[in-house]
């Protein structure tokens, strides 16, 4: 089924008051014509639609209609267009932005609602429709439905995941309270903080915690934290109340700002049975404002007892370590040798090694000397001069080559004969073979060896 366009709806809204008079007049004219006419009279379409509109608006100025939302469209202009239907029929509905901005929940298809509306006719098209002024969900109340819708939306985006929660500092030094300056919640938190930890710095940022202006006031107060130095944790909350009283802590913008905060935030809204969106997006939920203060700071007496306990443990551990080191030192002392004795033993050892080294060197030199003498004897026995000393001589030719055979010389050659004490120059007169036959007999050439 086609919906009423934005231009049509705006025209209907703008012309509603001006056309009311015209429609009434046209309706009266139609009614008077019908009453005075003796024969059937023809009417213009505009006159007929105006007449029908006047009848509907006169008889049904305001009514309540219950049905299921269908074909819901949230136009960019801010107007809502949808149909209300039951098992048998349906009717078109327009809800202008001036009215739907007051809704606490988001309408959607399939939702059962009760609307307060005026029945009217859109004359240019001749269609009748409802102009919705208010809407209430059936079953859950409007606030509860809005709470569940926002809760489901933020959960689907991961704003409630435990992994995104920031841990509280174990010993905070600066705590910021965002609450009403006149509420009992403030005094409860201050009493706990003063009793348990007087040394902690506490800063109050006052804010409204109830009413239409409370969400903006809470957001403004939360934004001022950035101007404070060394803030360790923030507590935001108030005392108990109805869902309407606590509604400021269900603001979507506030929830997103708390989620994005780099400083841990504790939600302390209402009593233990009260829940708000702030409880789910904050880093920690406290059942009451007093419980929030107790979670932030440790009791000074408990801290003192813990310090004393650790002190005793430290002394005990130190004594055990000292005793162990003392026993270890005694063991090492018993094994320690007098440095003078150690030096004397080392000196004796050095003398012994030096003596052994001297003997080793002497034996090595003696052995090597014996080897050299042996080699000299062998060389001497093989020396040609040794043979010469026994009565032999060595013959060399004019080139200095050793003459071993008679074939190396001829008659008349001058040779050098090496004796044991000197050398002789000799001339070959003849060559005699072992058989005594003369070979190559020639006269001396008379040449001399130079």
Encode pLDDT of 367-378 as tens digits.
999 999 888 888
CATH label, 147-298, candidates 3.40.50.10550, 2.40.50.100, 3.90.1580.10, 3.40.50.720? 3.40.50.10550
The pLDDT-based confidence of 27 (bands split at 50, 70, 90) is low
Rounded CA-CA distance 8/19 in Å is 14
Instruction: Tell me what pLDDT residue 403 has.
Output: 83
Range scoring the smallest mean pLDDT among 21-35, 62-76, 335-349, 408-422:
21-35
Average pLDDT over residues 200-205: 94
pLDDT over threshold 50, residue 394: yes
Instruction: Tell me what pLDDT residue 139 has.
Output: 67
The pLDDT-based confidence of 382 (bands split at 50, 70, 90) is confident
DSSP 392: -
Q: Does domain 6-139 have CATH number 2.40.50.140?
A: yes
Provide the edge-to-edge strand list for the sheet that holds 423-427: 394-396, 414-418, 423-427
* Chain mean position to CA 216: 34
Helix axes of 214-223 and 252-259: crossing angle, nearest 10 degrees:
20
Instruction: Tell me what pLDDT residue 108 has.
Output: 85
**Whether 250 contacts 151, CB under 8 Å:** no
Average pLDDT over residues 30-44: 60
Residues 6+ apart with CB under 8 A from 433: 406, 439
The pLDDT-based confidence of 33 (bands split at 50, 70, 90) is low
Instruction: Tell me what pLDDT residue 332 has.
Output: 83
The pLDDT-based confidence of 17 (bands split at 50, 70, 90) is very low
Range scoring the smallest mean pLDDT among 54-58, 124-128, 232-236, 419-423:
54-58
As given in the structure block, the two tokens for residue 374 are: 């042996």
Instruction: Tell me what pLDDT residue 141 has.
Output: 64
pLDDT over threshold 60, residue 67: yes
Q: Give the number of other Cβ atoms within 10 Å of residue 55's Cβ.
A: 15
- Higher-scoring residue by pLDDT: 436, 233: 233
pLDDT in tens, 247-262: 999 999 999 999 999 9
Q: pTM of the prediction?
A: 0.48
Domain ranges of the chain: 6-139, 147-298, 299-351, 388-439
pLDDT over threshold 60, residue 2: no
The pLDDT-based confidence of 343 (bands split at 50, 70, 90) is confident
Average pLDDT over residues 317-324: 92
Average pLDDT over residues 163-170: 91
Instruction: Tell me what pLDDT residue 446 has.
Output: 47
């Amino acid at each position: 089924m086609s919906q009423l366009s934005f231009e049509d709806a705006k025209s209907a809204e703008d012309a509603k008051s001006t056309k009311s008079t015209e429609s009434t007049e046209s309706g009266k004219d139609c009614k008077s014509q019908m009453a005075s006419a003796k024969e059937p009279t023809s009417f213009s379409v505009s006159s007929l639609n105006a007449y029908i509109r006047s009848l509907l608006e006169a008889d049904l100025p305001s009514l309540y209609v219950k049905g299921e939302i269908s074909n819901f469209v949230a136009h960019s202009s801010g107007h809502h267009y949808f149909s209300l239907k039951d098992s048998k029929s349906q009717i078109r509905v327009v809800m202008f932005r001036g009215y739907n901005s007051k809704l606490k929940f988001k309408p959607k298809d399939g939702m059962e609602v009760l609307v307060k509306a005026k029945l009217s006719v859109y004359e240019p098209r001749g269609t009748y429709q409802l102009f919705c002024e208010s809407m209430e969900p059936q079953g859950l109340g409007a606030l509860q439905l809005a709470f569940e819708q926002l809760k489901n939306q933020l959960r689907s985006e991961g704003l409630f995941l435990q992994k995104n929660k920031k841990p509280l500092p174990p010993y905070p030094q600066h705590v910021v309270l965002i609450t009403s300056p006149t509420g009992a919640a403030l005094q409860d938190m201050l009493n706990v903080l003063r009793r348990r930890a007087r040394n902690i710095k506490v800063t109050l940022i006052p804010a409204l915690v109830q009413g239409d202006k409370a969400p903006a006031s809470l957001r403004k107060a939360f934004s001022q934290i950035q101007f404070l130095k060394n803030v360790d944790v923030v507590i935001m909350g108030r005392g108990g109340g109805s869902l309407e009283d606590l509604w400021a802590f269900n603001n979507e913008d506030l929830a997103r700002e708390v989620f994005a905060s780099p400083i841990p935030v504790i939600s302390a809204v209402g009593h233990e049975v009260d829940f708000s969106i702030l409880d789910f997006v904050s880093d920690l939920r406290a059942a009451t404002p007093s419980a929030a203060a107790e979670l932030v700071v440790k009791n000074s007496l408990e801290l003192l007892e813990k310090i004393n306990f650790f002190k005793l443990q430290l002394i005990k551990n130190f004594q055990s370590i000292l005793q162990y080191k003392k026993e270890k030192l005694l063991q090492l002392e018993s094994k320690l040798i007098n440095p003078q004795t150690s030096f004397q033993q080392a000196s004796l050892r050095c003398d012994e090694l030096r003596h052994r080294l001297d003997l080793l060197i002497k034996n090595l030199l003696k052995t090597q000397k014996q080897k050299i003498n042996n080699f000299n004897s062998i060389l001497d026995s093989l020396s040609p001069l040794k043979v010469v000393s026994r009565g032999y001589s060595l013959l060399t030719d004019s080139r200095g080559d050793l003459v071993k055979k008679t074939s190396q010389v001829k008659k008349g050659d001058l040779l050098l004969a090496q004796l044991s004490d000197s050398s002789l120059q000799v001339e070959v007169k003849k060559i005699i073979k072992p058989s005594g036959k003369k070979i190559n007999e020639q006269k001396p050439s008379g040449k001399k060896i130079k």
